[in-house]
Chains A and B, each alone.
Chain A
């Protein structure tokens, strides 16, 4: 049994997804979805522990040996990303029970949970597979179900947001397939480890740089790196709250993982950063994303949209870390992947609580909520502090590593931009805090604290974001070792 865990983390949820649709009743479907998420959560923890103890796990599907069969290959990076996805999924499903009931009509409940499990499965699949075409298939599984989930938002603009995401996401995925096809035509293999071995011999050919370019554009589209982020703000704003919280903290993170996997493992850091000079593209884009998207966030009246723009800026931080192509930089990127998942999950969940009670997340409707929904707004402040990067929060840990990585390269202006980004975060977080705590509420409406079913998952993430901010040794250690695996240094 335990040697089959690498595949069971994907297969069990995949089989439970149609079951959730078939049971028909939303309560039963929720139980199925919760079982799938918590199963994957348990397995992902077991996988991380095993990888830490024994090193990379290789699993041959159906007993067909790699590179001919499909191999599931789990190294520390895959295990860590799978754990992030599974953790957020396990928390989000608890949250969804109350939130989705309020925001999605009951007859669609079962289908909602079925799509939720599929999206979850796809994201897990991307992180554990060792086959590039398998990555594309899982990418489409997760994306297609994500489009459907977003379209279930209450606002009719959710439909146009989902359509826009569908068009841009499909273009991104198609670019990735073109890149994979061109690599296959030069090497005749789809296995990641095998590709990494064979690519250097044919890298002088023009086909490989073209494949590299297609993959870069495709992945950055999925990643929502500025200026390919246009699908993200609408999708996050109009999706049901539970979906926003789940997708914001997992989908783009898995795209960051793809970036790491392709550029470091498949092509190798030397080809990506010295021959193709990827850092000269990624670093300016990341810096522009951090500054401009934080500025745009300041001018938003809808808090979910504000957080969405802030997400694009935060993706800038992750990509910035990766663009240093040093152990410290990649460590910062991977750490921020985990940290941002926690804080953005908490923030979007807090907004879901507001949505549940107030029915809107526009700033003018949030006056005086600090008194009426103290726990919800306290959670928002907790997540907001992390977003700014105040000490003793996870945001501080990742920024600390990021600034160190910049200074290690002697790029103090880059470090300054990171600091400036934090300053902008102070402004947009304060904007919400000011309205919620310092403006008088309308005395007529009667708004109570959000139910426990929403508060407990929200606070679980807030507490985690403080816990890993105070004691970052576990996460920083895993991230450093993962970065060493990617860059091929160390054990």
Chain B
């Protein structure tokens, strides 16, 4: 049962490996970026799972509601930053791909290697 209880973390590992594999194995520059994106998203899930307290709610003080269990907001807030970083990385990566396509006429890794020689 403990394995099922850690369902989130299994999903994190799966996503991380799918992303990382795509990043390494694919030759298309856009697909590589998608792999990188999945890889980074798995980290967001890792942090969010970490901060979640079973039965916990959003950490907002409400009058009259005492002894409420709160989830830890810090990992969640950290991930806002990570999302911004991820978006910036993807945007920069894609714009590089556009310019590579303009300059070389291809976005395939093996063809680029031949062109660069």
Contact = CB atoms under 8 A, between A and B. Distances in A.
A133 B89 CA distance: 17
Interface string A85-115: 0000000000000000000000000000000
A147 interface: yes
A163 B96 contact: yes
Contacts of A188: 72
Given A177-B43, A178-B46, A163 B81 contact: no
A181 B47 contact: yes
Interface residues of A, number: 26
Nearest to A161: B116
Contacts of A167: 23, 32-33, 36, 93
A163 B93 contact: yes
Contacts of B100: 159-160, 163
Given A133-B78, A181-B75, A170 B96 contact: no
A184 B40 CA distance: 18
B85 interface: yes
A185 interface: yes
Contacts of B40: 170, 174
B104 interface: yes
Contacts of B116: 157, 160
B27 to A, nearest CB: 12
Interface in A194-208: none
B46 A160 contact: no
B58 to A, nearest CB: 19
A163 B103 CA distance: 13
Contacts of B50: 181, 184-185
A171 B99 CA distance: 22
- Nearest 4 A/B pairs, CB to CB: A156-B103, A140-B85, A185-B50, A163-B96
Interface of A: 133, 137, 140, 144, 147-148, 151, 156-157, 159-160, 162-163, 166-167, 170-171, 173-174, 177-178, 181, 184-185, 188, 190
